[in-house]
Each structure stands twice: as C-alpha cells, then as structure tokens.
Structure 1
Amino acid sequence: MKRFFLYLFVAMAALSSCQKEEKSVFDQTPDERINAALAKYQADVLSSPNGWKALYRTGTGQAFNFYFTFNNQNRVVMYSDFDTATTHPRESSYRIKALQQPCLIFDTYSYLHMLADPNPYVNGGDAGAGLVADFEFAIDTVKGDTIKLKGRQNGTELDLVKATQHEADLWTKGDWTRALGLQHITDFLTYFKRTTIGGVDVDVEFYHYSRQIVFFTYNSSGIRTPVTASFVYRPENPNGAVFTNPVKIGTATISSLTDMTWANGKVNTKVNGTTNIAIGEAIAPVVVNKNGATSWWLYKIQQGYWVNLGFHQNGVDDAFGVQSIPGFYYMAYLPAYDTATKTTYWDWMAYAAVKDNILTIPNSSSFVPTFITDGRAIFNTYKPDSANAPLYVTLTTAAFTDPQGYYFLQVGPTTIDMVGVRDAKTWLRWYWVE
C-alpha cells in the first residue's frame, strides 16, 4: 500500500510539472486577437480605391442599389437609388466594432436608416417596422473583391463589391438619376396614368418604395385585372427598370422599361429597349364599369360599412385635413342606413375619432347616391352642414356632391376607389369593415 501511494505521488508531481510547462497555442491575448481582426477589417473596407457598390434586399423583398466610400476617419459617403434625393451624396459615421463578432455599424442616420425607419411616410413600409432593414451588420466573410455582411437585427444580407472607376462615376457624376425616370409617374395629378403596350390600352400604377409597377388591363365590362411586375433599377445596359420576371400584356412580353425621359407632361420610355411608349394623364377609365357604383353601394348586404382616410386631391393626400381631427380614427359610411324610416341619416357618413378610449362622432354628413346608367354615382346631401361646421366638413361635402359624380373601380376584394369624373384629380379609397 505504501508503494501504491508512492507511485501516485510521483505521477501527480510529474503531471503538475507538465502543467507548469504548458504554453498558450496563441501568440496573442484574446483582446490582442480581437483588435488585430478589427484592424484587418478596417483595412478591408478602405481597400477599394473606387469605393463599393451593393445591391441590398430588405426583409420585405425590395432591392435597392447603394454606393459607399469609407475613409480612415470613420466617415462614410453613400448614394442610393431609394429615391431621386438619395442619388446625392450623404455622409455619416461608421464603426468596425466587436459585438460577439466583428461588425460594421452605420451609427448615424443615413440612407440605410431610411429603409429601416418605422415611420411609413419615410419608406412606405409598415408602421413600426419600415421595410425590415438593418444598419448594423456582422462581417461574415471577406473574399476576393467582396465583403459579405449580415444584419444583426433582421438577418438581411448586404454584399459590398469593389466598384470600378466607371461604376463610381455613374454615381458621383449623376448618371444614376437617369435610371429613376419612372418616378415621374408620381408627378401626374390624375388617378389614371395611361399608355398602350402590345396593342392594349392600360393604366399604370407605380410603387417606388415597393419596387413594383402594376399594369391594369380592362375587359369589355370595365373589370380591371392587375398585372404586377417587380423591378430593380439599373444605371446602364439597360438604363432603367429591369423586371425580376417578365410580364405579358397584349402581344408584348415586357422585361424592362428603359431610356426614360420626362417631357411635355409625359414619361417616355422603351419597352425592352426597342419599342417607344409614352405614359401620360387620363381622366376616365379605358372602359367604364357601369355596375361599379351600384356594386359598391349594394355591398351593404354584407352587414358592415365602408371607411376611408379622407380625399386625395391634386396630388395631396388628406387634402381637406380630416386627419387633423383630434384622435381621428376614420371616416365611416353606412350605405342606406335606417332604410325603414328614411331618416336624415339615410346613407350616413361619420367623422369618427377616439377620445379616452371611446369612439366619438364629432361630425357627420348624409350623402345619398343617384346611379347613372353610364356607371357614375352622383351624391346629394340630405343633411346640410351647419353654419359653424369645420372647414374639413364643408370641403368634404363640396367634393362629395360634385355634380359630375364619381367612377368606382375595384382595387381589391374589399377595397374600392371612388374617382372624380370632373378631371380624375380627386379620389377616395374605401375599405370595407364588417
């Protein structure tokens, strides 16, 4: 037994001696290794003499082009095709920092932040979420001419690719703005934007932030069918909007709209780089749906009501200021309300607001439609505005009772647009609520 303990003591002593002689497999401390990695990545972002180009796809699926130049003072100058304003340079700060792993952080408000902004008026996204974009990125890999980044919050991917001098010039000399000519469609004041493609007259809707173009075709009854194309902007070869997937209209299969110019109140462009078309204002549907107005009104059998957020007029949303009502909720219209007694609330519209968590009706009106055989509805009021009615009420009443009336166009299963016949510059969007 004594011999056993002697052997055990010798073994433990030998093991202790070996442990004292162990050395770290690294030549640097963890902090030194982290700092070295950060310095390397800092050198990487500074390594492109002509800056970096990037195609960034948000969490909601839209694709935006960017151009970045970084300096050694932690400043970055960027351009974007987010809108025409963002094709001008904007400077902000950046950092290379260790946050569990090396990260590239854009830490002051920039064009990237605009995509993530929770205010829907900034980017057209959902309130509180924006376009589900990132501005803090983990550095994934650096290989060849590409730095791959991954968003820390939403997992979006941003690949920085070294730009050529020519690609840099496209941004810094303003050539990129030519690719954004389709945005001029939003300069039209009329609801209808008209062109002819493949022998078919179509209306065009342009959604810049969602990167979509919708072509509306009509059948002989005036029923519209949307044909939707998602697109990415390209500065050249071709210059303009390149569709993610081609769409077919009439005899034409469309893969791009390029070489855009804005002249004489029209957007002039080429289909697939060859066929010239012009998009301009129109004041009536291609074919009027003669049942559109009555279909809207007869939706009452669904036991619900229509709501809207105020009139759009001459390019201005909520042109009459109904959303300035304290606690504004919506404007609600109940078709043929109280039909048994035909009271003054026949076809009643309420200006609804919320106060102390209670729904209130600070003002109301009555607009009764007369349906014309050509598809229009003309409204009269059976509840005149009081002498001291707010301006938003009198303006709304004046618009509703325009003697030329309104067209009604189906937008979605429970969404209908009411468009002024006079000049198509006044319209209202209805949403059905059950």
Structure 2
Amino acid sequence: MKNILLLFTGVLVLLSCNKSLEPDLTFGKLPEERMAERNAELKAKLLEGSNGWKAVLRTSLRGGAYGYYMQFKDNEQVAMLADWSEATAKKFDTSTYRIKYVMNTSLIFDTYNYLSILQNPTGSANGGANANGLQSDIEFEYLRSTADSIILKGKKYGNTLYMIKATADEKTAFENGEYLTAISKLKNYFAKNFPHIIIGGNGTEKKIELWINSTTKVIDGDYITPDKNLESTNSGFAYAINGAYFNSGLVAQGIKITGMKWKSDTEIVAYDSSGTEYKINTSAAPLTLLHLALGTKFKLQAHFKTIYPGTSAKGSIIVGHYVNNLDNAYSGYKFIGGALTFTFDVPNKKLTVTGWHTQTEGASIGTGGWNTVITYSYTKDENGFYKFTHLSGPALPQSGANGYVQRLMSEEGKETIDSFLRNNRVSFDYYSEGGTSYGRMTSVENPNIVMTFALIR
C-alpha cells in the first residue's frame, strides 16, 4: 500500500511540473494557423495587384521563356494573355486557380489555360516531347514577395515564375490588344536589322550581336574574338509590353544583360542587372559568322512539309525533294513526319546528314521511326567556304522504308541534298525573318541555290 501511494505521489509531482497540456507552440501558433496565414498572404498579394501581373516562366526542355499577363479575381478565377501565339497575345483566357498548402503554400492553376499549353503531353501541340511537352509546370510553390513582385517555383521542374505588378497604363495597354502590337514590333525590328550592343571599354570593347528565336524563345549573344573564335551566351526570353525580359540573362565580361526596352518609337536599349543601359546599334550585315557556330553551337534542320523563309526557288526544289515527298506516292510510304538534320563534327571535320522519317503520331525527331544517314568529310578555306566529300551512305537504295527515303536524299539524276553537297562549295550565314533567326546554306558557284534551315542546339 505504501508503494502505491508513493507511485501516485510521483505522478502528481510530474503532472504539477507541466503547466499546460496544450501543444508546444514552437513558433507561437498552431501549424494549421501558420498554414492558413501563409495561404492568406499569397491570396492577398495576388489580389493586391489591381492592375494585374506581368509574368515570365522558363521551360526546361530547351530553356525558352514565355511571357504572361494575369489578372487574379477573388472568386478564384484568373484571366491571362501569353506570348505563345498571336491569338494568345490578344484574346484573354479565363480559368481557375487554387491556393493550397502542400509542404508549403502553393499556387495551382487547375483548369486548362495558356500555361497548360507548355506542358501539353502531345509533342505536336507545343513542339515539345511526347509525355512531357516543353517540361513546364502548372503548380508553383510560393517562395517570397516584395512590394511589387511575387516569386514562385515550379513543383516538378523547379523553374521560377516571376510576377511583377503592372501599372494602370500597362493594364490598359494589355486590355486594348497592345501586347500583340509590342511583340510584332520587336520581331519586325530583329527581322530588318542585325542588332548588337557594345560592352567594355579601354581597349576591351566587345560587340555582342543579338539573335532572337521566337520558336524556341531563346536569345543569343555572340562575339567573334580577334583570333576568329566564337564566344556565345544565351538566355530564354519573354516578350514584354515594352520590350523583352531575359530570364537568366546574357552574361559577358561579368555583365548580365537582363532585358531590353523601347526608349522611344525608334530607339531601343538593353539593360543589365544593375539598371545600366546599353544602346542597341544595328549593322547592315551580321557581325558574327555562322560557320564558326556549326558543330560548336548549332545543327541545321529541315522539317516535314516546311520550306523556311529565305529559301530560293532552286533551293526549294532540293530541300523539298525530301520534306515534301515523304507522304505521297513518290516515296511509296505514307510517312506523317520527317526531318533532315545536318550535324558537324568539327574536330574530325565530318558532316552527318540524317534523314529521319516516321509513321508514329507525335514521335520526337530521331525516335519512333527510321534514320537514314549519309556522311561526308569537309575542308574549309579562309573565307569559310566548305567543300564536302562523300564518305559513306546509300550509294544504291535498299528495300523497305529506308530504301524509299534514301531515294529522297540521294536518288541519281534528281536534285537532292546529296548531289548538292557533292557538287558545290557551300557558304553558311544567318538569315532573320519574323522574329526568328535561321541558318542559310548557299552555293558558292551557283548563288541562286539557297536553302534556309532551323537552328537547333
């Protein structure tokens, strides 16, 4: 009995030492209270932007960036524009959003909208890969905010969604359809000019030539060194209502160029991370040379049923012999996709031309079909002119699907890409139109033979 009393007394002593049986509030509040406050903070911040939000989002597949304008409503609806296409830049799309605590406060766009285009799993819908699209997000973790910005991070791919408060004038401009006008203006500027900026001083000046690609949404900054080597930097870019944002920045000589903006109707400047401005100059011809970038930076590629701007009539016959005959009786097979890819092996001075063709809907180039390959060695003179010599590939077409495609690449007596490369010296240069830069292949002996190709990293 005495032992029982002692044990009971000990329990009472322990209980008396505990002033409260309530949870230990390490941060002064219950976890669910902190979660609710964090969610409310983001909701209030979104609604605080009464003029809407300008936004930039990078994608992982090719590093391109996309621009948005968003207006959030208290009823969990969001209206947005995007620089994805002419239609999305002009017509508002309304969808829904949620704010939910999942390890942290998250902004979730839960119905299909212009953000969803980037992650569409059908590659043909956005030019991305099947299953993953352009590798983008619709669910974002709330990181932090300032007086005029919100910063969120994609939950799957980790790309940052930057949101900046729009002004009343910008809101009016977006609502009046001026986003499309601004996009077209910048595209037109790059189509008609070869822009560059000058950085450095005291004998270290560099002319950085700027190239934008509206298809991949990547901007390049190229510089030719005194010993004729190529230095290059690139960033995803998004069109703004008054220029463009560079999501990761063009970095040269320790300077990070983060965007460009119009100072007037005719004057445009680039600016760096500290706000310093650099006048954008133009030249009549490119300052940098494409042949220095082939193999070190770019491949060239022609696509199914596509003749790119800048291709001459004779060039259209040659490249068209492949891209336009894959799905008709000439080939003997009904292919629904195809591409010609020119890959330069600079150390070994070799060129590989790969003819890819497929009967699989949505297949990615190089997979889900067949590859027919021809290889060449090459020499390059002081002018950057190439002379190609056939090394291997289909001299006589084989049977089956590959055999038919080999005819399109190298059929004797036809104007094919193989006969062109065997019988011409070739020069390469850039060509820009409609806000996109291309690679152009021209015969030195027959300059009326010009073929333009997509630049592929």
TM-score (normalizing by structure 1): 0.57
Residue deviations 1:202-225, cap 9 Å, x none?
Answer: 9974323342135475999xx773
Q: Relative to 1, partners in 2 of residues 1:157 and 1:213: Cα closer, same or farther, differing over 3 Å?
A: closer
In structure 2, what is the Cα distance between the partners aligned to 1:66 and 1:430?
Answer: 26
2:122 counterpart of 1:103: no
Offset of residue 45 of structure 1:
2.6
The residue type equivalent to 1:48 in the other structure is: G
1:385–1:394 contact (8 Å) kept in structure 2: no
1:52–1:160 contact (8 Å) kept in structure 2: yes
The residue type equivalent to 2:187 in the other structure is: Q
Residue deviations 1:334-380, cap 9 Å, x none?
Answer: xxxxxxxxxxxxx998967689x99979x9999999x9999476999
In structure 2, what is the Cα distance between the partners aligned to 1:211 and 1:5?
Answer: 79
Partner of 2:81: 79
In structure 2, what is the Cα distance between the partners aligned to 1:131 and 1:157?
Answer: 15
1:71-150 paired onto structure 2 within 5 Å: 71-82=73-84, 84-88=86-90, 89-117=92-120, 129-141=132-144, 144-150=147-153
2:187 counterpart of 1:167: no
Q: Relative to 1, partners in 2 of residues 1:170 and 1:246: Cα closer, same or farther, differing over 3 Å?
A: farther
Which secondary structure does the structure 1 equivalent of 2:415 belong to? Answer: helix
The residue type equivalent to 2:415 in the other structure is: A
Which secondary structure does the structure 2 equivalent of 1:313 belong to? Answer: coil
In structure 1, what is the Cα distance between the partners aligned to 2:280 and 2:340?
Answer: 45
Q: Relative to 1, partners in 2 of residues 1:134 and 1:364: Cα closer, same or farther, differing over 3 Å?
A: closer
In structure 2, what is the Cα distance between the partners aligned to 1:332 and 1:145?
Answer: 45
Partner of 1:156: 159
In structure 2, what is the Cα distance between the partners aligned to 1:323 and 1:165?
Answer: 52
Q: Relative to 1, partners in 2 of residues 1:424 and 1:43: Cα closer, same or farther, differing over 3 Å?
A: farther
In structure 2, what is the Cα distance between the partners aligned to 1:21 and 1:233?
Answer: 56
1:56–1:65 contact (8 Å) kept in structure 2: yes
Q: Relative to 1, partners in 2 of residues 1:322 and 1:429: Cα closer, same or farther, differing over 3 Å?
A: farther
2:86 counterpart of 1:69: no
2:3 counterpart of 1:4: yes
2:233–2:251 contact (8 Å) kept in structure 1: no
Within the candidate set 304, 313, 319, 2:307 is matched to: 313
1:185-334 paired onto structure 2 within 5 Å: 205-208=211-214, 209-215=216-222, 225=230, 227-228=232-233, 230=235, 232=237, 235=240, 239=243, 244-245=249-250, 259=262, 270=268, 277=282, 313-315=307-309, 319=320, 320-321=323-324, 326=335
Residue deviations 1:252-272, cap 9 Å, x none?
Answer: xx997654999xxxxx87566
Larger radius of gyration: 1
Partner of 1:337: none
Partner of 1:53: 54
The residue type equivalent to 1:212 in the other structure is: I
In structure 2, what is the Cα distance between the partners aligned to 1:179 and 1:368?
Answer: 45
Q: Relative to 1, partners in 2 of residues 1:419 and 1:216: Cα closer, same or farther, differing over 3 Å?
A: farther
2:444 counterpart of 1:419: no
Offset of residue 106 of structure 1:
0.8
2:53–2:71 contact (8 Å) kept in structure 1: yes
Partner of 1:407: 426
TM-score (normalizing by structure 2): 0.55
The residue type equivalent to 1:75 in the other structure is: Q
Which secondary structure does the structure 2 equivalent of 1:158 belong to? Answer: strand
Which secondary structure does the structure 1 equivalent of 2:172 belong to? Answer: helix
Which secondary structure does the structure 1 equivalent of 2:136 belong to? Answer: coil
Which secondary structure does the structure 1 equivalent of 2:5 belong to? Answer: helix
Could you tell me which runs of 5 or more consecutive residues in structure 2 were left unpaired when the two chains were aligned. Answer: 199-205, 271-277, 328-333, 343-350, 360-366, 431-438
Offset of residue 69 of structure 1:
0.7
The residue type equivalent to 2:89 in the other structure is: T
Q: Relative to 1, partners in 2 of residues 1:257 and 1:144: Cα closer, same or farther, differing over 3 Å?
A: closer
* Number of residues of Structure 1 aligned to a counterpart in Structure 2: 378
Q: Relative to 1, partners in 2 of residues 1:131 and 1:14: Cα closer, same or farther, differing over 3 Å?
A: same
Q: Please provide the CA RMSD for this pair.
A: 6.3
The residue type equivalent to 2:106 in the other structure is: C
In structure 1, what is the Cα distance between the partners aligned to 2:415 and 2:188?
Answer: 30
Q: Relative to 1, partners in 2 of residues 1:368 and 1:99: Cα closer, same or farther, differing over 3 Å?
A: closer
Could you tell me which runs of 5 or more consecutive residues in structure 1 were left unpaired when the two chains were aligned. Answer: 249-253, 263-267, 297-305, 334-346, 412-416
In structure 2, what is the Cα distance between the partners aligned to 1:39 and 1:257?
Answer: 35
In structure 1, what is the Cα distance between the partners aligned to 2:325 and 2:88?
Answer: 31
Which secondary structure does the structure 1 equivalent of 2:48 belong to? Answer: coil
Partner of 2:345: none
Q: Relative to 1, partners in 2 of residues 1:354 and 1:307: Cα closer, same or farther, differing over 3 Å?
A: farther
Offset of residue 427 of structure 1:
4.4
In structure 1, what is the Cα distance between the partners aligned to 2:19 and 2:94?
Answer: 54
1:314–1:425 contact (8 Å) kept in structure 2: no
1:216–1:226 contact (8 Å) kept in structure 2: yes
1:309–1:323 contact (8 Å) kept in structure 2: no
The residue type equivalent to 1:211 in the other structure is: V
In structure 2, what is the Cα distance between the partners aligned to 1:241 and 1:358?
Answer: 36
Q: Relative to 1, partners in 2 of residues 1:321 and 1:99: Cα closer, same or farther, differing over 3 Å?
A: farther
The residue type equivalent to 1:6 in the other structure is: L
In structure 2, what is the Cα distance between the partners aligned to 1:288 and 1:97?
Answer: 49
Partner of 2:415: 398
In structure 2, what is the Cα distance between the partners aligned to 1:39 and 1:331?
Answer: 53
In structure 1, what is the Cα distance between the partners aligned to 2:252 and 2:46?
Answer: 39
Q: Report percent identity of matched pairs.
A: 20
Which secondary structure does the structure 2 equivalent of 1:212 belong to? Answer: strand
